[in-house]
Amino acid sequence: MRNTIIVFTKVPKSGETKTRLMTEREGILTPDEAMALYEGCLLDVINVCIASKSGDVRICYNNKGDVDYLEKLLEKVSDRSQIKELYADKGGNFDDCMQYAADHILKEGGPDRLADSLLIVGGDIPTLQPYILQDAVKKMKKLACSKAGLAAAIKLGTENRHLGAALVEGACQEGGFSIIGYTCATPFAFKGVFYNQDGITALDMLLLKAVENSIPLAVVEAVPDVDIPVDLASMIPVVKALRLASYHDESILTPVNTLGILEEIGLESTATPPQR
């Protein structure tokens, strides 16, 4: 089963990147610092995707993003030659953009598809590790070959009769998910996942779609994203722990770019002692 990893990202831009971390939005970073932090996170995520060797790596960026700036930033990744493609989404709401990112690869399971399955990851999850992506692909392949996966699959023709449906997700905070994967034979669409009128969380909506269509679902280790100051405070000790653990475990990839920006800005996590 051919897999593609899509890094779904906005091209970093000062004043428009990670705005909820900025002082203007009751955060703690300047616009330039917020942009720099995201660039560090994005580079580390891409390096993990490359190191995982879990499929072709492609980057889907926002429709109005500066692709020339993105190309310049990508000069800093571990191996630029491993990024197979950069492509812009078509705009719209978050559901629309995610759907286009996936459709560009899977092409409704047609013979011109670029892969049989995909994983979509965000650029703001610097604690992501290669083994998590490897686990996601392994579980997705297993489900796609299962009785339940074959029963739920969209029929793609006799040449694909052994390719079943499968969903895999890695949760993040507040009922969201930071990793999602599925096969081209999976009856799944993003409509209503992030934008619905019923107050249903993205992860709950994903589960509802899996139940409604009898799609077998697997979960992998949760990977938090970094959107607001409390996320940032929680992330800092974890990336430090990953650096220390990597000295004794070669499977761990240190998020060096994120750590470098944190050190440059001078950010540390603190725990306020209780008042007596």
Q: Domain 3-264 is of which CATH architecture?
A: Alpha-Beta Complex (3.90)
Q: Taking the alpha carbons of 113, 115, 117, 121 in that order, is the dihedral positive or negative?
A: negative
Task: For residue 225, give both structure tokens.
Answer: 């994203």
Q: What is the pLDDT along the chain (276 residues), one digit of tens a residue?
A: 999 999 999 999 999 999 999 999 989 999 999 999 999 999 999 999 999 999 999 999 999 999 999 999 999 999 999 999 999 999 999 999 999 999 999 999 999 999 999 999 999 999 999 999 999 999 999 999 999 999 999 987 656 668 999 999 999 999 999 999 999 999 999 999 998 878 899 999 999 999 999 999 999 999 999 999 999 999 999 999 999 999 999 999 999 999 999 999 999 888 888 877
d(CA 197, CA 190): 14
pLDDT at 272: 80
CA 126/CA 168 separation, integer angstroms: 20
Give buried/exposed letters for 131-144 (b at 16+ CB in 10 A, else e). Answer: bbbbbbbebbbebb
Supply the pLDDT for residue 160. 64
How many CB atoms are located within 10 Å of the residue 237 CB? 12
Nearest to 12 by CA among 45, 34, 44: 34
The structural domains of the chain, with segments of one domain joined by +, span 3-264
Q: What is the pLDDT of residue 197?
A: 76
134 Cβ partners below 8 Å, 6+ apart?
A: 52, 53, 54
Query: 66 — phi, psi (to 5°)?
Result: -85, 95
Q: Which residue type, as a one-letter code, is found at position 117?
A: S
Q: Which two tokens stand for residue 35?
A: 């942009």
What pTM does this model have? 0.96
* DSSP annotation of 192: T
6 closest CA partner among 81, 114, 141: 114
